[in-house]
Amino acid sequence: MAEDLQIHQGSKEEQYISLIPQIQAILEGESDAIANMANVCAALKEQFHFFWVGFYLVKADELVLGPFQGPVACTRIRMGRGVCGTSWKEERVIIVPDVEKFPGHIACSSLSKSEIVLPVFKENKIMGVLDVDSDQYDQFDGVDEKYLQHIIDLL
Protein backbone atom coordinates (compact mmCIF):
# COMPACT_ATOMS: atom_id res chain seq x y z
CA MET A 1 0.00 0.00 0.00
CA ALA A 2 1.31 3.44 -0.92
CA GLU A 3 0.83 5.66 2.09
CA ASP A 4 1.13 8.98 0.26
CA LEU A 5 -2.13 10.69 -0.43
CA GLN A 6 -2.51 12.39 -3.81
CA ILE A 7 -4.10 15.75 -3.09
CA HIS A 8 -6.31 17.06 -5.87
CA GLN A 9 -7.70 20.55 -6.19
CA GLY A 10 -11.07 21.41 -7.71
CA SER A 11 -14.61 21.61 -6.48
CA LYS A 12 -15.52 19.99 -3.18
CA GLU A 13 -17.20 17.16 -5.06
CA GLU A 14 -14.13 16.60 -7.26
CA GLN A 15 -11.96 16.48 -4.17
CA TYR A 16 -14.15 13.82 -2.56
CA ILE A 17 -14.24 11.85 -5.82
CA SER A 18 -10.44 11.73 -5.98
CA LEU A 19 -10.09 11.02 -2.27
CA ILE A 20 -12.56 8.16 -1.89
CA PRO A 21 -10.73 5.51 -3.97
CA GLN A 22 -7.55 6.38 -2.11
CA ILE A 23 -9.28 5.89 1.23
CA GLN A 24 -10.70 2.64 -0.08
CA ALA A 25 -7.17 1.47 -1.00
CA ILE A 26 -5.84 2.46 2.42
CA LEU A 27 -8.60 0.55 4.24
CA GLU A 28 -8.41 -2.49 2.00
CA GLY A 29 -7.06 -5.51 3.80
CA GLU A 30 -7.01 -3.82 7.22
CA SER A 31 -9.62 -5.08 9.63
CA ASP A 32 -8.71 -2.98 12.67
CA ALA A 33 -11.47 -0.41 13.12
CA ILE A 34 -9.38 2.07 15.13
CA ALA A 35 -6.56 2.03 12.56
CA ASN A 36 -9.05 2.57 9.76
CA MET A 37 -10.88 5.39 11.52
CA ALA A 38 -7.52 7.05 12.27
CA ASN A 39 -6.54 6.96 8.60
CA VAL A 40 -9.94 8.28 7.51
CA CYS A 41 -9.45 11.28 9.82
CA ALA A 42 -5.93 11.88 8.51
CA ALA A 43 -7.03 11.63 4.87
CA LEU A 44 -9.95 14.04 5.34
CA LYS A 45 -7.80 16.50 7.26
CA GLU A 46 -5.04 16.37 4.66
CA GLN A 47 -7.37 16.87 1.69
CA PHE A 48 -9.73 19.48 3.11
CA HIS A 49 -7.79 21.07 5.98
CA PHE A 50 -10.86 20.78 8.17
CA PHE A 51 -10.41 22.34 11.60
CA TRP A 52 -11.26 19.09 13.37
CA VAL A 53 -12.20 15.61 12.12
CA GLY A 54 -12.89 12.75 14.48
CA PHE A 55 -14.92 9.86 15.72
CA TYR A 56 -16.77 9.58 19.00
CA LEU A 57 -17.50 5.98 19.94
CA VAL A 58 -20.44 4.65 21.95
CA LYS A 59 -19.18 3.22 25.24
CA ALA A 60 -21.88 2.28 27.75
CA ASP A 61 -24.05 5.40 28.16
CA GLU A 62 -21.65 7.94 26.67
CA LEU A 63 -19.77 8.87 23.54
CA VAL A 64 -16.03 8.69 24.14
CA LEU A 65 -13.43 10.42 21.99
CA GLY A 66 -11.93 8.11 19.38
CA PRO A 67 -9.42 8.63 16.57
CA PHE A 68 -9.25 12.27 15.45
CA GLN A 69 -7.13 14.95 13.81
CA GLY A 70 -7.08 18.49 15.13
CA PRO A 71 -6.89 20.28 18.43
CA VAL A 72 -7.54 18.46 21.71
CA ALA A 73 -11.25 17.89 22.28
CA CYS A 74 -13.79 16.97 24.95
CA THR A 75 -13.48 13.29 25.78
CA ARG A 76 -17.02 12.36 26.85
CA ILE A 77 -20.42 13.40 25.53
CA ARG A 78 -23.74 12.26 26.96
CA MET A 79 -26.64 11.07 24.85
CA GLY A 80 -28.66 14.04 23.59
CA ARG A 81 -25.95 16.57 24.45
CA GLY A 82 -24.51 18.84 21.77
CA VAL A 83 -24.53 18.03 18.09
CA CYS A 84 -22.78 14.67 18.51
CA GLY A 85 -25.01 13.51 21.35
CA THR A 86 -28.11 14.56 19.40
CA SER A 87 -26.95 12.74 16.26
CA TRP A 88 -26.40 9.65 18.41
CA LYS A 89 -29.77 9.90 20.14
CA GLU A 90 -31.76 10.61 16.99
CA GLU A 91 -29.58 8.40 14.76
CA ARG A 92 -29.46 11.00 12.02
CA VAL A 93 -27.09 13.29 10.17
CA ILE A 94 -26.98 16.83 11.53
CA ILE A 95 -25.56 19.78 9.58
CA VAL A 96 -25.01 22.93 11.65
CA PRO A 97 -24.20 26.09 9.63
CA ASP A 98 -23.60 28.17 12.78
CA VAL A 99 -22.75 26.27 15.93
CA GLU A 100 -23.72 29.17 18.18
CA LYS A 101 -27.30 28.74 16.99
CA PHE A 102 -27.47 25.04 17.87
CA PRO A 103 -29.07 24.69 21.32
CA GLY A 104 -26.71 22.87 23.68
CA HIS A 105 -23.76 22.88 21.29
CA ILE A 106 -20.61 21.75 23.05
CA ALA A 107 -17.82 24.19 22.27
CA CYS A 108 -14.65 22.14 22.44
CA SER A 109 -13.06 25.12 20.70
CA SER A 110 -14.38 28.64 20.19
CA LEU A 111 -12.77 28.53 16.73
CA SER A 112 -15.23 25.93 15.47
CA LYS A 113 -18.01 27.67 13.52
CA SER A 114 -19.90 24.98 11.59
CA GLU A 115 -20.06 21.23 11.63
CA ILE A 116 -21.55 18.03 10.26
CA VAL A 117 -22.11 14.92 12.36
CA LEU A 118 -23.01 11.53 10.87
CA PRO A 119 -24.00 8.43 12.80
CA VAL A 120 -21.86 5.35 12.20
CA PHE A 121 -23.68 2.01 12.18
CA LYS A 122 -22.29 -1.48 12.41
CA GLU A 123 -24.70 -4.34 11.79
CA ASN A 124 -27.64 -1.94 12.16
CA LYS A 125 -26.46 -0.75 15.56
CA ILE A 126 -25.07 2.73 16.12
CA MET A 127 -21.46 2.45 17.28
CA GLY A 128 -20.41 6.10 17.11
CA VAL A 129 -20.46 9.31 15.14
CA LEU A 130 -18.15 11.06 12.71
CA ASP A 131 -17.81 14.76 13.55
CA VAL A 132 -16.26 17.23 11.09
CA ASP A 133 -15.78 20.84 12.17
CA SER A 134 -14.81 23.96 10.24
CA ASP A 135 -13.49 27.27 11.52
CA GLN A 136 -15.74 28.99 8.98
CA TYR A 137 -19.53 29.31 8.96
CA ASP A 138 -21.77 27.29 6.65
CA GLN A 139 -19.14 24.91 5.28
CA PHE A 140 -21.18 21.70 5.06
CA ASP A 141 -24.02 20.61 2.81
CA GLY A 142 -25.51 17.62 1.04
CA VAL A 143 -22.28 17.03 -0.89
CA ASP A 144 -20.36 16.45 2.34
CA GLU A 145 -23.17 14.30 3.67
CA LYS A 146 -23.21 12.11 0.55
CA TYR A 147 -19.46 11.53 0.38
CA LEU A 148 -18.78 11.31 4.11
CA GLN A 149 -21.53 8.70 4.24
CA HIS A 150 -19.79 6.86 1.44
CA ILE A 151 -16.51 6.97 3.41
CA ILE A 152 -18.25 5.66 6.55
CA ASP A 153 -19.67 2.81 4.47
CA LEU A 154 -16.10 1.78 3.59
CA LEU A 155 -15.22 1.27 7.25
Give the number of other Cβ atoms within 10 Å of residue 60's Cβ. Answer: 5
Residue type, 56: Y
Question: 101 with 120: CB under 8 angstroms?
Answer: no
DSSP label of 102: S
Question: 80 with 86: CB under 8 angstroms?
Answer: yes
Site for ligand SME in 118-147 (CB under 6 A): 131, 133
SS3 state at 47: helix
Q: Is residue 106 near ligand SME by the rule CB under 6 A?
A: yes
User: Which residue, among 112, 128, 110, has the nearest Cα to 120 in the 3D structure?
Assistant: 128
Site for ligand SME in 74-103 (CB under 6 A): 74, 77, 82-85
Size of the site for ligand SME (CB under 6 A): 15
Q: Is residue 73 near ligand SME by the rule CB under 6 A?
A: yes
* CB closer to ligand SME out of 33 and 73: 73
Q: Nearest approach, Cβ of 104 to ligand SME (angstroms)?
A: 7
* CB closer to ligand SME out of 67 and 85: 85
By the criterion CB under 6 A, which residues form the site for ligand SME?
Answer: 52, 73-74, 77, 82-85, 105-106, 108, 112, 115, 131, 133
